[in-house]
Amino acid sequence: MTDFDGAFLPRGAHDYEEARLGAVWNERKPDRHPDAILIAASDRDVQEGVRHAAARDMPVSIRSGGHSWIGNGVRDGGLLIDLSALDEVTVDAPDRRATVRPAVQGTRLNALLAAEGLVFPSGHCPSVGVGGFLIGGGYGWNSRALGPACFSVEAVDAVLADGTLVHATDETHPGLMWALRGSGPGFFAVVTRFHLRVYPAYDQILRSAYTFPREMRDEVLAWTYDTVPDISTSLEMSAKVAFTPGVERQTTMITAAAFCTPDEGPGMLDPLEKAPFLHHALRRVERVPSTLDDLYALSDGLTPKGNRYAVDGVWTDAPVAQVLDAGREVLDGLPNRESFLLWMLWGGQPTREDACWSTQSRLYFSPNAVWHDPADDLRAESWAHDSLRAMAPVAHGTQFADANPADRPDHGLQPEQAARLEQLRHSYDPQGLFRTYLSPAESTTALALHRRRMTGR
């Protein structure tokens, strides 16, 4: 048996079940059981874990922050390498760089950066781990201006399929770095450190939010969609179709966060304040000075830990009337008062030579089903995944951060990028040691079980 600095837990070991369940933040846990879980305490552990698995033909899966909605790291059989104990950060303020281990949460990174007058576009939710977030592309606070977070990865330390630890840069390992920037669970190495470029902190952050009655939904959504190309990229505008406490019927809320710099000040909120329907708002907050911590707290309130979640999403830049038409089943069919539809106007980013991140458009349309009782699994999952199928005529792929390829297969990369990723995988991981995207046969959701019952397969 290999000697590890951390804990090696074969199935049946005392702490195994706690580690398996703890690897998934979502309260809806997959019914999948790795043969063993290695809670790595060092780079050496990761190397030894990879060698141990390779010698026994055990496929390897990975967990960093555990925020994959579908519990991607928890697979049947094989070895799960749990990186949750690797959470150090070092900041090099004069050089505007930070080195971050995979389990670090965005809030902690930004607290350390703030002390140096710096910032990073970490995920909206405070507890998302940087590991999966960065590799999946990473749409964080102010990513419209700073780019998906993966564009700010300058180098990584990674353990390859033969157990070697490399310091990879665009010069030394261009293929690996290209794949790292956006392949999500399709990546073929274990990253133990990310070397990031970081940015000057904002002069101030201002937040506005307007809540509109149900009957104004389509008008409000259409206006945001048509307006986003003309607003500052430092203004992050999105909408949410949901139930609001104290309001009987569903509402539509526009939220906007203005990340002000010396070049771009509060004036970037002017177009929103001139929206023709603003006087119909049931509630409004306007230009509230905010901190990143305030924004994290709002996001955390939207998706608190302890609930069951089913999340999915598609990108689109079809004409908005078509988007609204195709999305009607999702928009009209919220399964309960806690679930919501996020209308995220992220605008799309040009593809880059050094990144596989490639499937994005003006809008990311994302149903978020939220519930508590396992008896409601099928209803909630059907809404999040099956209702979204009606979007197919206007959709342009999904985002790996939220994708559930097991219950609604969809592409997260353009065909050219997907083909290159498979070539690179073959050269970096010829034996197929690392798990890739979750397949329909692996899904243990109520929706998957229901489909199997219906089709007899």
Ligand X SMILES: Cc1cc2nc3c(=O)[nH]c(=O)nc-3n(C[C@H](O)[C@H](O)[C@H](O)COP(=O)(O)OP(=O)(O)OC[C@H]3O[C@@H](n4cnc5c(N)ncnc54)[C@H](O)[C@@H]3O)c2cc1C
Binding site for ligand X (CB under 6 A): 25, 61-69, 72-73, 83, 102, 123-125, 128-129, 131-133, 135-136, 138-140, 185, 187, 190-191, 303, 401
| CA–CA gap between residue 55 and residue 382 (Å, rounded) | 41
Select 140 or 163, whichever has its Cβ closest to ligand X.
140
> Minimum CB separation from ligand X for residue 305, in Å?
8
| CA–CA gap between residue 135 and residue 5 (Å, rounded) | 26
Outline where 356-409 has alpha helix (H). Answer: 377-381
70-84 exposure pattern, b = at least 16 Cβ within 10 A, e = fewer: bbbbbbeebbbbbbb
Spacing of C-alpha 155 from chain mean position: 20
> Minimum CB separation from ligand X for residue 55, in Å?
20
> Minimum CB separation from ligand X for residue 282, in Å?
26
> Minimum CB separation from ligand X for residue 364, in Å?
10
> Minimum CB separation from ligand X for residue 103, in Å?
7
| CA–CA gap between residue 128 and residue 221 (Å, rounded) | 28
Select 30 or 327, whichever has its Cβ closest to ligand X.
30
Select 326 or 388, whichever has its Cβ closest to ligand X.
388
Partners of residue 370 on adjacent β-strands: 309
Select 162 or 325, whichever has its Cβ closest to ligand X.
162
Inter-residue contact 29 to 439 (CB < 8 Å): no
Select 137 or 327, whichever has its Cβ closest to ligand X.
137
Strand ranges, E, within 175-234: 190-197, 199-200, 204-213
Inter-residue contact 182 to 134 (CB < 8 Å): no
Select 59 or 131, whichever has its Cβ closest to ligand X.
131
> Minimum CB separation from ligand X for residue 126, in Å?
9
Select 182 or 327, whichever has its Cβ closest to ligand X.
182
Inter-residue contact 198 to 96 (CB < 8 Å): yes
DSSP state letter for 391: G
> Minimum CB separation from ligand X for residue 360, in Å?
11
Q: What are phi and psi of 435, to 5 degrees?
A: -65, 150
Q: Which two tokens stand for residue 424?
A: 């690179």
